[in-house]
Amino acid sequence: MLILGDLSGIQDFLFDVRESGGKQAATLRFRSLRLQLIAECIARRVLWSLDLPEAERLLYCAAGKFAIEATGAASIDDRLDPIRADIEIWLLNHTHGRLRCTIVADDSLGTAAERIHAASTVLQRGKLQAWASVSRAARPLVVPASFDLKGESDCDVAMGNQLKNATTIEFVAETADPEWPPGVALQCTSRQPGQPRTGRSWLLLDRIARHTPRHPDGSLVEFVDLARRSTGAPMLGVLKADADSLGDAIRKRLGSSQTFAPLTQFSQKLDTFFGQTLGREMVAAGSRWNNIYTVFAGGDDLLLVGPWDTIIDFAAHVRKRFTDEFTSDRLTLSAGCAIIKPKFPIHLAARQAEDLLETAKAGPKDQFAALGEVWRWDCHAAIINAGKQLRIWVASSEIQRGWLHTVLELALLQCGQAHARGPGIIPAMASSRLAYHVARNWPKTGAARQWIDGVLKDFDGFRNTSNPIILHLPAIIRYAMLATRSPSDKE
């Protein structure tokens, strides 16, 4: 018997935080922690109710999902029904139905890969029957209290304050703690490794704690202050990334295995990479990644916020580290980065990043979507370095920032993404107009002139060239324009 659990509605619940009065960053961090702990609590409630040992039977618990090997447990379906009803009623009351939990059991035979596939199919059907257990228990699908956004945010902050000095989360059997799913409660402790623990189950806070930038006094850096740490425009980058074709990789890992040990090892490897390895690099003294705010990192998922230029560089760093770590598994990574103003609602920014991620995954995958373009990772360094070089030339007055506007307008005209200003101007005229602009304005000699001459050389053949500078010229110019914009510029 295999039990799968899945929390749905995570993104809506995660980003449903107050957007006025400041403290959005702090509230969001604590909400993310609460989500992870809810999933941990539900997994333990299932294990304890079925009298299953956690160390042997919990295959994984990450990103709002868990899997339990329940072979040998008696009357599983009958014992799961009241658990499902209790948890659904709690989620209905405490999240106003925004979070939903599906727990299914499947007794299909076969290899571990075949069993996972069969149980996953049952899980997808179960997710289409939200609140079914509440209905079967003849309980009303009615939220008993009006939604209190401030009260909910205060609850997140209160929980975060409890965790500030904790090193360990201990889970205890408890039926009357309203803060957590029925049957489980939490105790935040500061016990050190090796010290005795009183809880029935526990985990080190390091496993779910994520890096957030802080001021010297220890307070959290809010998004407005974070944006000011960008180069040029005070904007934020919101990065969403995850592994491509993970299901195929899991099936290959399991192969013909009759046990789930390869799945557990692989899940732990993924969760450690996204949840801890990257976090340690952010925390490292003198690290330029210290300004990155981790909204969520676990499973094969990553959602980060930071200064827009830092986030773009970190995306390439993550991909390189990911490739080094998972080359043997033939896994690739796709990512999308939305660039926003610091007061833009974070839930809308996250959806933009999600849409960009889906664009990057379309077709060949293993791509990055940002700055209005999508490119392969092997083009990333050339594109971003060109943008940085243009910024340097603008800063040293070798070229003027206004010329970038002209180049961008003509590049968009050439590739059919925009209409030129002025009557009678057609895409076929873009090359001649760019040549005239360069001859009249750009310096006659020097590195900047060599660069723009290289652009002119291949400008007409952008549909057939493999040169990333021509293929993604609009992204390069947009990067340079952001990097050279003054904080007071309203463009």
Instruction: Please state, in angstroms and rounded to a whole number, the distance separating the CA atoms of residues 252 and 274.
Output: 21
1.10.287, 3.30.300, 1.10.8, 3.30.70: which CATH number matches 2-154?
3.30.70
Nearest residue to 335 via CA among 400, 278, 402: 278
Q: What pLDDT sits at residue 171?
A: 87
Instruction: Please state, in angstroms and rounded to a whole number, the distance separating the CA atoms of residues 356 and 373.
Output: 9
Look up the CATH superfamily of 223-370: Reverse transcriptase/Diguanylate cyclase domain (3.30.70.270)
- Give the model confidence (pLDDT) of 37-85 as tens digits: 899 999 999 999 998 988 889 999 988 899 999 988 888 888 898 899 9
Q: What pLDDT sits at residue 381?
A: 97
Nearest residue to 408 via CA among 393, 420, 422, 397: 420
Contact by Cβ (8 Å): 73, 52: yes
- Give the model confidence (pLDDT) of 242-271 as tens digits: 999 888 888 888 888 888 999 899 998 998
Nearest residue to 241 via CA among 281, 325, 300, 328: 300
User: What residues in the chain have per-residue pLDDT under 70?
Assistant: 18-24, 26, 175-176, 192-199, 285, 418-425, 487-491
